[in-house]
Amino acid sequence: MKLCMIGTGYVGLVSGVCFSDLGNQVICVDKDLTKINKLQNGFIPIYEPGLNELVKKNIKNKRLFFSNDLKNSIKKSDIIFICVGTPTKKGGSSADLSQIYKVAYQISKSINKFKIIITKSTVPVTTGDEIEKILLKNNSSKKFSVVSNPEFLREGEAIRDFIYPDRVVVGSNDKKSNKILKNLYSPLITKGAKYVHTSRRAAELIKYASNAFLATKITFINELANLCEKTNINIDDISIGMGLDQRIGSRFLRAGPAYGGSCFPKDTKAITSTADKFKTNLSVIKSVIKSNENRSKLLLKRVYGALNNRIKNKKISFLGVTFKANTDDMRDSSSLTMIPELSKRGANISYYDPTGIKKEFNKLKNVNFAKSISTCLEKADLIIIHTEWNDFKSLDFKKINKNKKTTIFDMRNLYLPEKMIKKKIKYLSVGRGT
């Protein structure tokens, strides 16, 4: 099939590349000409394992193309995916849909035959209705179908999630588009993916509801970890005991820093904003948002305690600063709260992340990027394991422990407290009474 992906951000690029790998002809469109030129030359703007190889392979096989010519790309394609950003509105909590509606208007002027217009971006309920209204201003309803087809890609696992999804959700209000999309996704359905057909509005809400529930699980286990610390209980035991209940499941029950990234923070806010619009109070999700916002402050208090509230001139080393492993995404990472606050209090901060230097810290006083783990940890008073990269799961503590005063604060519970005690290492973790 001939597909057009509008927007080469995380969703548009990964989805477009994977669709081309399934044998479709795909044009990925972006208004940023510099970005398009780089992509055409095989340069990938995001860190995602395996993506670079797939891009080169499908460019070579002439199934994947990059362009900044939106009008012609739409005309050449049968199915148009809208994959532009829907960030939180400045000063508010609702989703900013300005890019979505701008793209819908541009599509409306370029429809030359029947097109399926799909929102792949995460959008609030009724967005599809608004897109339909925009398209109807310049076109007959027989010329297009508006569909919601949310993505469920995890950063760092996106290619696997696309090829082996739990489910494919398609929200359409007509049989024709549903039949075409079921055919498009047939290679994944034959591998075991469940195909779920719903109304368009239901598909829009499924994405938000899923992310809000996962964010709730993370926040729930983080709050239980606070209780475990007060009662000398190991949160790992609680997670295992709960997770074995099939009604609950073990995933997203790992205590640690606040949730971050491109989805959970903005999507939890957006769903409560939509509910407020329809005069419904999603009080549970509102509590999740508030608790998550307080999480970094709570962990900072433990950092202060570990240093006896003497922060000035102390060397603090951060291992990992992204919101999770296997991504270079800094959006809403708790390090963006912690590092500036510690810098203000006079700490000397060194950080190492496998994805390199971060512009977010460039202007901060006494904050430096280390080119290696060993350089980062040199003469540290406190080592914070912030992100669960594999690089940090087997550190040589004998070398680190040359500085007997070093304390390790393992925010991801990568190590066992009893082993640290045996090695006479000052060790703190989350929710284990240590």
In the residue annotation, 263 being an active-site residue is answered as: yes
The CA distances from residue 430 to 29, 69, 334, in Å, are 44, 50, 15
> Coil, strand, or helix at residue 263?
coil
From the centroid of its chain, how far is CA 289?
16
Strand order from edge to edge, sheet including 194-198: 64-67, 25-29, 2-6, 79-82, 115-119, 144-148, 167-171, 194-198
Among 4, 18, 263, 376, the one annotated catalytic: 263
Q: DSSP alpha helices (H): ranges in 122-261?
A: 127-136, 158-163, 175-184, 186-189, 200-231, 235-243
Three-class SS state of 17 = helix
Cα separation, 140 vs 407, whole angstroms: 67
Residue (of 345, 385, 351, 383) closest to 367 by Cα position: 351
Catalytic residue positions, numbered: 263
